[in-house]
Amino acid sequence: MNAARLRITLASLAVAACAVACGAAKARPAEHTAPASSSPAPVPAPGTGAAPSSGIPAIPDGPTGPAHADPSAPPVVASPARLVVPAIGVDTGLESVGLLADGTLEPPHEWGVAGWYADGVRPGDPGPAVIEGHVDSRSGPAVFYRLRDLRVGATVIVHTRDGKTLRFVVDSVRSYPKTHFPTAAVYGPTPLPVLRLVTCTGEFDWAARSYLDNLVVSARLV
C-alpha cells in the first residue's frame, strides 16, 4: 500500500467508529423495536491526518504516534478467526467486513458475531487492527454488550486462521462523543501491534435512532 492509499484508508476509517449499528451500555434492550442506527464521525480532510478539534486527549498509554512499519510489507500473521475476552464472556467467530459505498465500515451481519475490518491491519501486525461489534439488538444484548465492563489489564485473545494465539492486554477503555471523535488517536498508525474494539455507548437518541457515543477499548500485544 503506498502512502497516498494509506492516507485515504485512514480517512475512511475515521467514519468506522460510528458505523456499527449497535446499542449502548445504558441501552434499554427490552424497549427496542428496531436496531439502532448511527451517524458518521467527523472525518479529517484526506491527506491531513488531522483529528477533529474536540480537545479530547489521545488514548492514554497507547502506542500512538507517526511511526509505522512499511505499509507495502506483507503481513506477518494470518487473518484472525476468533476473538475471546474471558473477563466479559466473549467468545466469537470473526466476520470479515469492509467499507460501504458511503465510506463507512460495514456492520457485522449477525448480532452475536464480531466483525474484523479485513482491508485494514491484521491483529498482530504493526498498527491498529479494528474489530467492531453490536451491543444490543431487537431482542436483547449482543456480542459487545459487556465491553464497557472491561478493565485495564484484562486479556484479549485472538486466534488466527493458521492456529496461532495472540494475547493482548487492555490499556484503556474510553468513550467519546460521536460528534467529537478523536480519529487520529484511535485509527492513526502505530509502531506496535494494537487492537481496537469498537462499539456504541451513551444515551440513545430515539428520534435519530442512534446512540450518541462510541466506546473504544485499546489493547497492546504481549
Q: 511511526: which residue's cell?
A: 67
Distances in whole angstroms, Cα of residue 93 to Cα of each of 31, 60, 113, 157, 210? 28, 29, 6, 12, 26
pTM given for the model = 0.70
**Is the pLDDT reported for residue 83 higher than 80?**
yes
* Res 35 pLDDT > 70: no
Q: Provide the percentage of residues in the chain whose pLDDT is more than 70.
A: 66
Residue with cell 492456529: 163
pLDDT in tens, 145-168: 999 999 999 999 999 999 999 999
For residue range 102-152, what is the model confidence (pLDDT) as tens digits?
A: 877 899 999 999 999 999 999 999 999 999 999 988 889 999 999 999 999
Which domains occur in the chain, in start order? 3-51+62-221 (2.40.260.10)
Higher pLDDT, 86 or 2: 86
Q: Supply 150's cell numbers.
A: 472491561
* pLDDT band for position 74 (cuts 50, 70, 90): low
Instruction: Tell me what pLDDT residue 187 has.
Output: 82
